[in-house]
Structure 1
Amino acid sequence: MTQQRIANAFTIDVEDYFQVSALAPHFPREEWENVPCRVERNIDRILEMLDAHGASGTFFTLGWIAERYPAMIRRIAEAGHEVASHGYNHERASAQTPARFLSDIKLARAVLEDVSASAITGYRAPSFSIGAGNLWAHDSILEAGYAYSSSIYPVKHDHYGMPDAPRFPYRLENGLLEIPVTTNRMLGRNWPAGGGGYFRLLPYAVSRWQIARVNREDGRPAIFYFHPWEIDPEQPRVREASAKTRFRHYINLERTEARLNRLLRDFAWRRADEVFRDAA
Structure 2
Amino acid sequence: MTIDVEDYFQVSAFANHIPRESWSHLACRVEANIERILSLLNGRQIKATFFTLGWIAERYPKMVRQIADEGHEVASHGYGHLRASEQTKSEFFNDISSSKALLEDISGKPVLGYRAPSFSIGSENLWALDVLGQAGYRYSSSIYPVVHDHYGMPDAPRFAFRPRGEDGILELPVTTARVFNRNLPAGGGGYFRFFPYAVSRWLLRHVNQHDRMPGIFYLHPWEIDPQQPRQTGIPFKTRFRHYVNLHRTETRLQALTRDFSWGRMDHIFLTSK
TM-score of the two chains, using structure 1 as the length reference: 0.95
Cα separation, 2, equivalents of 1:28 and 1:62: 17
Using a 3 Å threshold, how does the CA distance of structure 1 residues 90 and 72 change in structure 2: closer, same or farther? same
In percent, how many aligned pairs have the same letter? 63
Contact 1:170–1:279 (CA<8 Å) still a contact in 2? no
Q: Which has the higher strand share?
A: 1
Amino acid at match of 2:186: A
Cα separation, 2, equivalents of 1:279 and 1:86: 24
Amino acid at match of 1:183: T
Q: Say whether 1:92 aligns with 2:83.
A: yes
Q: Match of 1:59, SS?
A: strand
Mapping 1:134-213, distance limit 5 Å:
134-171=125-162, 172-173=164-165, 174-213=167-206
Q: Say whether 1:24 aligns with 2:5.
A: no
User: Which runs of 5 or more structure 2 residues have no equivalent in the other structure?
Assistant: none
Cα deviation code 1:34-68 (max 9, x no counterpart)? 11100000000000000111111000000000000
Cα separation, 2, equivalents of 1:154 and 1:278: 25
Higher relative contact order (CA 8 A, sep 6+): 1
2:107 pairs, out of 100, 116, 122, with 116
Matched length: 271
Q: Say whether 1:244 aligns with 2:237.
A: yes
Residue 279 of structure 1: CA displacement?
6.9
Cα separation, 1, equivalents of 2:126 and 2:17: 29
Amino acid at match of 2:255: R
Two-structure CA RMSD over aligned residues (Å): 1.0
Cα separation, 1, equivalents of 2:40 and 2:110: 25
Please name the residue that 2:59 is paired with: 68
Please name the residue that 1:231 is paired with: 224
User: Which runs of 5 or more structure 1 residues have no equivalent in the other structure?
Assistant: 1-9
Amino acid at match of 1:156: V
Please name the residue that 1:218 is paired with: 211
Cα separation, 1, equivalents of 2:156 and 2:60: 35
TM-score of the two chains, using structure 2 as the length reference: 0.98
Please name the residue that 2:47 is paired with: 56
Using a 3 Å threshold, how does the CA distance of structure 1 residues 211 and 279 change in structure 2: closer, same or farther? farther
Residue 175 of structure 1: CA displacement?
2.2
Contact 2:130–2:168 (CA<8 Å) still a contact in 1? no
Residue 278 of structure 1: CA displacement?
5.1
Q: Which runs of 4+ in 1 moved over 6 A?
A: none
